[in-house]
Amino acid sequence: MMVTSESELAEAIAGAKGPLQVVGGGTRLPVSGEVLRVGISGVKLYEPGALTLVVGAGTPLAEVEDLLAAEGQRLAFEPMDYRPIMGSEGEPTIGGVVAANISGPRRVQAGACRDFLLGVRFVDGQGRVIKSGGRVMKNVTGYDLVKLMAGSWGTLGVLSEVSLKVLPAAEAVATVVVHGLEDAAAIKALSRALGSAYDVSGAAHIGQGTEARSLVRVEGFADSVVYRAGRLRELLGGFGEISVEDDPARNAALWKRIRDVEDFAGRAGDVWRLSLKPSDGPVAAAALRAAFGAEVIHDWGGGLIWALVPAGADLRAAMGDLPGHARIIRASADTVARLGRFHPRPAPVARLEAGLKEKYDPRGIFNPGLMG
Amino acid sequence: MQMPTPDQTILSRKDHIVRRLRTVLPDDAVIDAPEETRAYECDALSAYRCPPLAVVLPASTKEVAAALKICHEEGVPVVPRGSGTSLAGGALPTEDSIILGVARLNRVLETDYDNRFIRVQTGLTNLSVTGAVEDEGFFYAPDPSSQLACAIAGNIAMNSGGAHCLKYGVTTNNLMGVKMVLMDGSIIDLGGPCADMAGLDLLGLICGSEGQLGVVTEATLRILHKPEGARPVMMGFDSNEEAGACVSDIIKAGILPVAIEFMDRPVIRATENFVGAGYPDVEALLIVEVEGSEAEIAQQLARIIEIGQRHNPVEIRESGSAEESARIWAGRKAAFGAMGQINDYMCLDGTIPVSQLPFVLRRIGELSGEYGLGVGNVFHAGDGNMHPLILYDANKPGDLEKAESMGADILKLCVEVGGCLTGEHGVGVEKRELMDAQYNADDLDAQMAVKDVFDPAWLLNPAKVFPLAATAQRRARPMAAE
Ligand SMILES: Cc1cc2nc3c(=O)[nH]c(=O)nc-3n(C[C@H](O)[C@H](O)[C@H](O)COP(=O)(O)OP(=O)(O)OC[C@H]3O[C@@H](n4cnc5c(N)ncnc54)[C@H](O)[C@@H]3O)c2cc1C
Ligand SMILES: Cc1cc2nc3c(=O)[nH]c(=O)nc-3n(C[C@H](O)[C@H](O)[C@H](O)COP(=O)(O)OP(=O)(O)OC[C@H]3O[C@@H](n4cnc5c(N)ncnc54)[C@H](O)[C@@H]3O)c2cc1C
């Protein structure tokens, strides 16, 4: 079933006889139920001078990005394209990005998708149209249901419209590359850079041995980028051999590779995503390598690990006591059913989440079982 | 402004309730003598006062939990309190409520520069968080002007902003985790030193929930390295339209200043009389501050000035030194004080889309004429967060009511042009009855449903945020939960 307006959406939900699988771009999550495709598309308002954009939730992400690029602006949270690792097709929508709170490498500097979400309109499980937030950048009027909806994966309501804060695209970019570091030294280097005054907008570590690369990105006005890349080069000088990449196209390709986890595309095995305290990144990576021979990519200065592991592996068991959480991104339905896609939450928190689900979706029709 | 009628059965059980609280808290942490509870009768919205039944000042999360559990069992409303600087009456008690103050929870628990966070107890003041890390060159970004006094607890509850939030965001963008106690005494942790939540973003929900969902006792906050330097430029214009267009052009040019502050003529004149910052006598004044190395600052300021030149400025003054910067900021920083010299004032906090600035300022001017009350405007122009200051005379009967009614008109105007009632101060009791100007019954119900989940008996700060009539049924609790 495809809806193209908010009122159609509300009707469809109010009249639903059973579970609904909420779908934006058709890159589907494996849950049961009738497909409810959100095709509410189009730009309602775009004011570059106020950095605000209001769009239908079903608007293709690519359309949003093109629109912003024409004004020299962008979605600063750098949403990834999951299609390469998922091996899926379809056109990702802005609603899907918001529902999944998808945020890329720039999260370390700019924040996550939820930090740019100014307002939402959605339809709850009873078919009621609800709005929260608005289109202005500062708004503390009532509870922040906007944050609640970001990252709720369509389990609490179906988004019809989202308002986003956008930012100027950078005039220039450079990446300071440290070669050949072990994980522990690499994460130290990234921490040093992130803890500096030089406004680092990406901090990742890929590869091992002599192939290892620790990447520190700066963006902004051209002179400023040159200056900060130079200072970072000095700051990280003690860690190892350093080079600076300042070619725009090569930078774009490099950070797209990190953002979209391209190294794992088309490879056999399961893909997991771990959120950690950055300094625990090397500890977790070592544990995953020892337990499963995992291949690991560090982003967010060590705070995010992408792991490629043999099918069926349980990474949560291997994490031990490290604070953080692990989410399955790609695995067989059996593995997802056995381990759960989302990391289990402590009982009192799980109770609150279940309570909210019960209030917003009393019939339990939205993406049943997805967030567990 | 109306508050619910106090529950007589609670008042009559005061001794019993206080006695029970004393069994779990040290003697000096339970205050019930009227001459002492009076210190807690209001926050910075001081037109409204009411001493609470009693005050508890726990010194640990465990003590908070124990106190809440008792209040839950006794069916007593609890009003959490940080430093009492709320401008919205968020910490205003009722006669039948217990004030739970977190002032004694004031320790730094952990600083971690590698992972760029600090973990603190929430009674700590905002400024002392930065104080704890500045020797290492770090700072905590959200900086409300009340930062010397206000506590992290209140900042989280109100999702407070500050002068620098254009670049660094408000509290919610800098809050990584909390430890909090639910009304039934259970303790939960949300978030922490790692990014993202495992499940739903309950942390985002807690921030800005005005003490209605739980008592926050610990917070993990993001800290950042200080920029190498910062410097402002001041620009005076003969019309609000030009100043507004200039703001929007700066933003469109891809420059992201840390602050763009706006003052109108009444405020400029008041501050000139008060501190003599040397501002020109113009219709609208902008202060734009940028950060970075010396060269980066110079380059950004040059671009900003070039944009300013296109808008018929009366005067542009670039700061060339720390002293000049201080002088440019002096008037802005003293603005509230300066207006206070003229008369009592009421500070509003609506946000509008930046493009509506000239229209809204003109309308406020007209309303000022209609009501016969002076208004000055000083605000964060980069994000449209207005702070109209309505002047009135507290000793003149009817003047406060007149100011309130004018304030309501201005806030409704903010909503009409696509903005909201409050950008950073919160709803509290002040804007409670205006909520339906912004939200319909279903919108409000979806919000209240959250409180139903966290605090089913509606005991935590129950008479705030939502129109009283809308919460009447939920607040009705004829008896203790026992
Ligand atoms: C842990 C994880 C697992 C993923 N698993 C898969 C997968 O198995 N297959 C795949 O193709 N992609 C998957 N993705 C990728 C990601 O979901 C999509 O690429 C992204 O959301 C792009 O938008 P979309 O429109 O394609 O969203 P969709 O894939 O259609 O939806 C993504 C999520 O958002 C919800 N959603 C979509 N639109 C709305 C809306 N308007 N209102 C409310 N909720 C909405 C969906 O119910 C779903 O939970 C996964 C991502 C992550 C982080
Ligand atoms: C001169 C002045 C300037 C100001 N400038 C700014 C500004 O620039 N930006 C801005 O945003 N605000 C500003 N404010 C408003 C005020 O300072 C903020 O709202 C501040 O965050 C309140 O903190 P507090 O500790 O004083 O909280 P309180 O006033 O004690 O309480 C505020 C709210 O928080 C709740 N609360 C308190 N402690 C807890 C807890 N432990 N758990 C859960 N809820 C709790 C209370 O119930 C209440 O609803 C200003 C106020 C004044 C007086």
Phi, psi of A165 (to 5 degrees): -85, 130
Say yes or no for a CB contact (<8 Å) between B196 and A151: yes
Say yes or no for a CB contact (<8 Å) between B446 and A130: yes
- Please write the tens of the pLDDT for every residue from A156-198: 999 999 999 999 999 999 999 999 999 999 999 999 999 999 9
- Going from the Cα of A24 to the center of ligand 1, the distance in angstroms, rounded, reads 7
Three-state SS at A155: coil
Question: d(Cα A183, Cα B389) in Å, to the nearest integer?
Answer: 55
pLDDT for B382 equals 87
Say yes or no for a CB contact (<8 Å) between B115 and A279: yes
Question: d(Cα B37, Cα B84) in Å, to the nearest integer?
Answer: 13
Reported confidence tier of residue A88, pLDDT bands at 50, 70, 90: confident
Q: What DSSP character marks residue A128?
A: -
Q: Is the CB of B125 under 6 A from ligand 2?
A: no
Say yes or no for a CB contact (<8 Å) between A115 and B173: yes
Fold of the domain built from segment(s) B108-225 = 3.30.465
What class is the B230-335 domain? alpha beta
pTM of the model: 0.96
Q: Which ligand is nearest to the CA of B183?
A: 2
Pair of tokens at residue B452: 């139903």
Alpha-carbon distance B419 to nearest alpha carbon in chain A (angstroms):
6
- The pLDDT of residue B358 is above 80: yes
pLDDT for A26 equals 67
Q: Tell how strand A158-165 and strand A213-220 pair up.
A: unpaired
CB B447 within 8 A of CB B438: no
Share of chain A above pLDDT 70, in %: 99
Pair of tokens at residue B112: 């971690």
Which DSSP string corresponds to B37-81?
HGGGS--S-TT-----SEEE--SSHHHHHHHHHHHHHHT--EEEE
Question: Which helix (H) or strand (E) element contains residue B404?
Answer: helix B399-416
Reported confidence tier of residue A27, pLDDT bands at 50, 70, 90: low
Helices B14-24 and B61-74 pack at an angle, to 10 degrees, of 150
Nearest to B115 among A51, A278, A342 (CB): A278
Q: What is the ipTM of this complex?
A: 0.97
CATH number of A2-168: 3.30.465.10
Atom of ligand 1 nearest to the CA of A91: 26
Average pLDDT value for chain B = 95
Share of chain B above pLDDT 90, in %: 90
> What is the Cα Rg of chain B in Å?
23
* Range scoring the smallest mean pLDDT among A88-92, B16-20, B279-283, B319-323: A88-92
Domain B8-103 coded CATH 2.60.120.260 = no
What is the average per-residue pLDDT within B451-456?
A: 98
- The pLDDT of residue B479 is above 50: no
Q: Is the CB of B79 under 6 A from ligand 2?
A: yes
* Partner residues linked to B190 by β-bridges: B178
Question: d(Cα A224, Cα B295) in Å, to the nearest integer?
Answer: 8
- Please write the tens of the pLDDT for every residue from B183-210: 999 999 999 999 889 999 999 999 999 9
CB B87 within 8 A of CB B422: no
For B343-433, CATH number out of 3.40.190.10, 3.40.462.40, 3.30.70.2740, 1.10.40.30 equals: 3.30.70.2740
Q: How far is CA A258 from CA A296, A306, B32, in A?
A: 12, 10, 60
* Angle CA A242–A248–A253, to nearest 5: 85
Say yes or no for a CB contact (<8 Å) between B442 and A350: no
What number of CA atoms fall less than 13 Å from residue B204's CA on the CB side?
26
Question: d(Cα B50, Cα B64) in Å, to the nearest integer?
Answer: 23
The count of other CB atoms within 10 Å of the CB of residue A238 is 10
Reported confidence tier of residue B41, pLDDT bands at 50, 70, 90: very high
SS3 content of chain A, % helix, strand, coil (to 5): 35, 25, 35
What is the average per-residue pLDDT within A107-121?
A: 97
Residues with C-beta less than 6 Å from any ligand 1 atom: A 22-25, 27-30, 38, 57, 82, 86, 88, 90, 92-93, 95-97, 99-100, 102, 153-154, 158-159, 327, 329, 367
Please give the order of strands across the beta sheet that includes A158-165. Answer: A43-47, A52-56, A158-165, A117-123, A129-133
Q: What's the CA dihedral at A51, A55, A57, A61 to 10 degrees?
A: -70
- Please write the tens of the pLDDT for every residue from A219-265: 999 999 999 999 999 999 999 999 999 999 999 999 999 999 999 99
Which residues, numbered 437 to 456 in chain B, qualify as contacts with chain A under a Cβ-Cβ cut-off of 8 Å?
438-439, 442-444, 446-447, 449-454
- Please write the tens of the pLDDT for every residue from B407-442: 999 999 999 999 999 999 999 999 999 999 999 999
Share of chain A above pLDDT 90, in %: 91
Are both B8-103 and B108-225 of the same fold?
A: no
Fold of the domain built from segment(s) A262-334 = Alpha-Beta Plaits (3.30.70)
pLDDT for B482 equals 37
CB A260 within 8 A of CB A80: yes
Residue boundaries of the structural domains of chain A: 2-168, 179-258, 262-334
CB B107 within 8 A of CB B120: yes
Q: Tokens 């300013």 — which residue?
A: B308
pLDDT for B252 equals 86
- The pLDDT of residue A29 is above 80: no
Q: Tell how strand B230-237 and strand B215-222 pair up.
A: unpaired
Residue boundaries of the structural domains of chain B: 8-103, 108-225, 230-335, 343-433
* Angle CA A263–A264–A270, to nearest 5: 160
